[in-house]
Amino acid sequence: MKWIDYESPHSVREAVDLLNEAGDRARPLAGGTDLLVQLRAKAYDLDLVVDAKNIPELNELTYDPDNGLTIGAAVACYRIYGNSSVRSVYPGIVDAASLIGGTQIQGRASLGGNLCNAAPSADSVPPMIAYNGVARISGPNGSREVALEDFCTGVRQTVLERGEILVSLHFPTPEANSGANYIRFIPRNEMDIAVAGAGVSVVLDNGSIASARVTLASVAPTPLFVAEAGEAIAGKPATEETARIASAIARDAARPITDMRGTIEYRKRLCEVLTRRALMTAIERAKEN
Amino acid sequence: MPAKTYVQTIINGEHVDLLCEPRQSLLEALRDVVGLTGTKEGCNDGNCGACTVEFDGRIVTSCLVLGVEAEGKEITTIEGVAQGSELHPIQQAFLENAALQCGICTPGFIVASKALLEQNPDPTEHEIRFWLANNLCRCTGYDKIVRAVQDAAVKMQEA
């Protein structure tokens, strides 16, 4: 790896100043499970990495029913699935956090990093969109919030501008009678990149779908939020037949490429199957709530 | 070119101060600066687990940690697993079950298995295989490794 400088600021302000001064010659470092690999592969040419793990706001993990869930951008996966509130209230996030990489990767990798890395296959992003997640960003001109479905703008491209850092991910408390799920297809049992994935949430009302959100992984340049799949089943009974309506729309919305992991046709078919299965699991979870 | 960074750590229970370049991984710092060469380099991108160490209470692939991130952290490497000349039950079980051939992956497997049994003393076969999915072995086919971990779990519970 070529020479880099390392800074470990203790406040968001300091981090923003460092990132703003260096521009695209610097990137924040959370778990490093993508960034260090990319630096060795010369995917980025940096002079500076700014370690985000000593900034209190980026290590926050708090939930309360009034304010929802806040996950600091540098919080590692193991802390997320080890948190009893997250496990009981946001199981769809736990689905993803517990299947990214193996045990060693989960000891370091963060959902904030997964989002900012902006890979189409990012496992945690579809369920975070399903839970109406918002990115809280700080920068030289102050703070702003961006809905997670608007955060990734292309392969490895995000809305972050010069000097901006993702501080945390925020999720409102799910409504009563709601459920969510993330599943993916990989040819191995674990430790693989999704051929396709589906993250969904549903809110039930007397056995019907009050609202639903469907987001797909690995089938577009960014995580693909398919608003119309959820909208089409609002008001319909919470049955497999209804799930099939949404999954057909998800299949048609997917715009995958053919590569070593799968063909266009195969991935579109996977979107249909995964969306239907994820919706049925989310409905079951909603009934348990 | 900036100076090297002074890093204070605790490695295998002892205070260790080291000088490392910010670009050096923890793996490189352990092997090339501290001289602890039991931790192995395999893929150098986090897939194979040969460089597994315990870092701040969690197992990590030390190739994906910068040496400078170790400031103030506690680290356990394979050299810290045995008690003096007495092997850890997991090491003994790997020997008795022939759970190694070439041995390159073994330090990573033992550090990872130790962390598993410390938090889950009686894991199922599925739990063992899932926990060790980030450790690759090209010799054994894994079955002997899984049996060694099961054997160690029994012996550690009897102890």
Which CATH number goes with the domain that contains A137?
Answer: 3.30.465.10
- Within 8 A of A5 by CB-CB distance, chain B residues are 2, 22
pLDDT, tens digit, for every residue of B68-115?
999 999 999 999 999 999 999 999 999 999 999 999 999 999 999 999
Token pair for A185: 């297809």
Shared-domain flag, residues A155 and A210: no
**Domain's final residue, options B80, B99, B123:** B80
Residue A83 to residues A109, A288, B11, B84: CA-CA distances in angstroms? 16, 20, 28, 37
The pLDDT tens digits of the residues spanning A229-260 come to 999 999 999 999 999 999 999 999 999 999 99
> Which of residues A171, A197, A213 is at a domain's end?
A171
Residues A190 and A266 in one domain: yes
Let me know whether A152 and A62 are in one domain: yes
Residues A197 and A274 in one domain: yes
Please indicate, yes or no, whether residues B38 and B72 belong to a single structural domain of this protein. Answer: yes
What residues of A are in the B interface, CB distance below 8 Å?
Answer: 1-6, 8, 29, 31-33, 36-37, 40, 49, 51, 53, 76, 78, 101-105, 107-108, 189-191
Kindly report the nearest CA distance between residue A43 and chain B, in angstroms.
14
Q: Which domain holds residue A142?
A: 56-171
CB contact under 8 A, A103 and B112: yes
Domain count, chain B: 2
- How many domains does chain A fold into? 3
Enumerate helices (H) and strands (E) in chain A, giving the number of each.
Answer: 11, 14
List of residues 6+ apart from A141 with CB closer than 8 A: none
Last residue of a domain, one of B48, B80, B112: B80
Residue B1 has pLDDT above 80, yes or no: no
Is residue A213 within 8 Å of A201, Cβ to Cβ?
Answer: yes
> What's the CATH code of the domain at A36?
3.30.43.10
Same domain for A279 and A231, yes or no, is yes
**Contact with chain A for residue B45, Cβ under 8 A:** yes
**DSSP character at residue A259:** B
Q: What are the structure tokens assigned to A153, written together?
A: 């703008």
A76: which strand partners?
A110
Q: Does A22 share its domain with A91?
A: no
Co-location of A18 and A120 in the same domain: no
Domain region containing B152: 89-158
Residues A233, A167 share a domain: no
Same domain, A112 and A159: yes
CA-wise closest residue to B100 among B56, B138, B130, B43:
B138
Same-domain status, A203 and A155: no
Same domain flag for A15 and A65: no
Per-residue pLDDT of chain A (289 residues; tens, 9 = 90+): 888 999 999 999 999 999 999 999 999 999 999 999 999 999 999 999 999 999 999 999 999 999 999 999 999 999 999 999 999 999 999 999 999 999 999 999 999 999 999 999 999 999 999 999 999 999 999 999 999 999 999 999 999 999 999 999 999 999 999 999 999 999 988 888 999 999 999 999 999 999 999 999 999 999 999 999 999 999 999 999 999 999 999 999 999 999 999 999 999 999 999 999 999 999 999 999 8
CA nearest neighbour of A196 among A208, A182, A185: A185
Work out the minimum CA distance from B44 to partner chain A, whole angstroms.
Answer: 8
The CATH number that applies at residue B30 is 3.10.20.30
Residues 6+ apart with CB under 8 A from A142: none
Q: Are residues A104 and B44, on separate chains, in Cβ contact within 8 Å?
A: no
* CB B61, CB B52: distance < 8 Å: yes
The string over A99-116, giving b where at least 16 C-beta atoms fall within 10 Å of a residue's C-beta and e elsewhere, is: bbbbbbbbbbbbbbbbbb
Q: What is the largest CA-CA distance in chain A?
A: 61
Say what percent of chain B tops pLDDT 70: 99
